């Protein structure tokens, strides 16, 4: 998965949120427009192999200075946003670095 493919899918409207991502976005007060902006301007931090549900990746996007992590993948069309969240301690040292 590469960021250009993600951006092309977002620009063409070929993406959707899972029920989990929709709830996570509501819990974190992240609007769909912010998810879209994070995907369009973001960078891939981690790639996850296909574990039977398709390959996916973790994208970091900064939206008006606020870091947003978006996990998305595809097994079929469209791009599926699996979850979204604001990276914060204790899981993350900063938006780019996962605590080991």
How does pLDDT run across 66-93, given as a tens digit for each residue? 999 999 997 778 999 999 999 999 999 8
Does position 50 have pLDDT exceeding 90, yes or no?
no
With contact defined as beta carbons under 8 Å apart, do 1 and 56 qualify?
A: yes
Q: What is the pLDDT of residue 49?
A: 83
Mean pLDDT score across all residues of the chain: 93
Residues 6+ apart with CB under 8 A from 80: 15, 16, 17, 18, 72, 73, 74
Whole-structure pTM over 0.85, yes or no? yes
């Amino acid at each position: 998965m590469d960021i250009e493919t993600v951006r092309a899918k977002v620009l063409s409207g070929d993406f959707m949120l899972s029920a989990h991502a929709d709830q996570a976005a509501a819990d974190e007060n992240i609007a769909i427009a912010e998810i879209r902006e994070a995907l369009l301007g973001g960078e891939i931090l981690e790639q996850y192999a296909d574990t039977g549900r398709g390959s996916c990746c973790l994208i970091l996007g900064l939206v008006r200075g606020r870091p947003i992590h978006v996990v998305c993948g595809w097994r079929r069309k469209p791009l599926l946003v699996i979850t979204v969240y604001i990276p914060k301690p204790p899981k993350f040292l900063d938006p780019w670095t996962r605590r080991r």
